[in-house]
Copies of this chain bind each other. A is one copy, B any other.
Amino acid sequence: MNDALKATLAPTLKSWIQSANDPASDFPIQNLPFGIFSDAVNAQPRAGVAIGDWIADLAVLEDARLIDARGTFHASRLNDFIALGRETWRGVRIALSALLAHGNATLRDDEALRRRALVPRSDATMHLPVEIPGYTDFYSSKEHATNVGSMFRDPKNALLPNWSELPVGYNGRASSVVVSGTPVRRPNGQIKLPNEERPIFSACRKLDIELEAGFIIGRGNALGEPIACEDAEAHIFGMVLLNDWSARDIQQWEYVPLGPFNSKGFATTISPWIVTLDALEPFRTATPAQDPQPLAYLRHEGDHAFDIELEVTLRPEGAHTPTTISRTNFKLMYWSMAQQLAHHTVGGCNTRVGDLMGSGTISGPTPDSCGSLLESTWNGQRPVKLEEGGERAFLQDGDEITLRGWCQGEGYRVGFGECAGQILPARG
């Protein structure tokens, strides 16, 4: 990381956009996450960067020759920009940081340009930031795997033998990944009730969330050419929050022997802003100790976890006060993103720009740090109390779930914004 890039991360850096200097803003000048947005003035989805309460329109800034990404900011997905490579991402970051920094007059004092280049976030519609060629979901929280194994298999052998040797993962359904704010329809499907001989066709009765973080591939690998663990982070563009909505009753019946399918394929929500790995650099921290020591292809030196605080709230339809149902941290994950990517490709599997990789449900050791209702309510047996009365074992129609995540710096935070979705009733 060169000096110019390091300078964009300085905690003391301020912007001439005042809302970006609010310590509670997710989008200070140290963040500069990329997304795709449109607004009433210009309905064409295009690339933007969140800064305080505003979005910097990158297409406008590129047309004004203040940044350079070979015209890719006019596209309705970030893939072409991302494909330009890390030097380009970093060049844009450095240029934007300078342009938005306190004391820089170029954009600040050019009123005509500034009016076109800055769009209020509250006026914008966010779109899926990337076309996702492949979606992979891992299962890398030891607490989550232990909880699920205890509930559905054997509490004495909750963790299967392969779990501590490799980052277990599986292919998810990329077509149904949606951006935050998209309503989520409760799925219908086959459910096997305990006292019935045959399954019934029913709306899901155990609709759940999975609090996850996702990373977006910034540089793919060719078929047959694995990514080494030490090189893996250079292949990552950035991270998002991810809610892997899960129909537990459908899942329990369908998942043997080939894994979850319809229980997950109806929707997966991601947050609209991709926080770059560069912006997360100051929040790098130690990976949890791994015992046994992983096989050589899964080893890396140094710190490969990231200190990202996470929170889930549930707001019933019509309620004013959301209930916080989970607080945890991404740094608890047993397997790092680098290890996940090295494992994914070790047999030769290729990845592509825009591929989404989910961490798996992020759970801490206590019920209030679990990343799913399945765990925090122990399969519905211990419902969580809601702020305005009532309780939840699993999600009800109208419930709105919001994931939030942020890295806490000194006097600022690098945040992800929201990853939200409201439950619609099942099709009749």
Contacts and interface: CB of A to CB of B under 8 A. Distances in A.
B190 A134 contact: no
Interface stretch (A72-80, A99-107, A346-354, A402-410): A346-354
Q: Which of A201, A260, A348 has the most CB of B within 10 A?
A: A348
A289 interface: no
A186 B352 CA distance: 21
A154 to B, nearest CB: 12
Contact of A187 (B253, B267, B348): B348
A398 interface: no
Contacts of A178: 223
Given A162-B253, A427-B226, A175 B348 contact: no
B262 A349 contact: yes
Contact of A343 (B162, B174, B199, B262): B262
A295 B201 contact: yes
Interface string A319-353: 00000000000000000000000011011111110
B347 A189 contact: yes
Nearest to A131: B133
A134 B255 contact: no
A195 B408 CA distance: 48
A190 B344 contact: no
B347 A247 contact: yes
B349 A266 contact: yes
A46 interface: no
A254 B259 CA distance: 12
Given A257-B160, A260-B258, A174 B134 contact: yes
B349 A175 contact: yes
A199 B198 CA distance: 39
B257 A185 contact: no
B348 A173 contact: no
Contacts of A355: 175
A265 B153 CA distance: 27
Interface stretch (A36-44, A81-89, A163-171, A278-286): A163-171
Interface string A203-245: 0100000000000000000011010000000000000000000
B255 A344 contact: no
Contacts of A349: 173, 175-176, 262, 265-266
A412 to B, nearest CB: 37
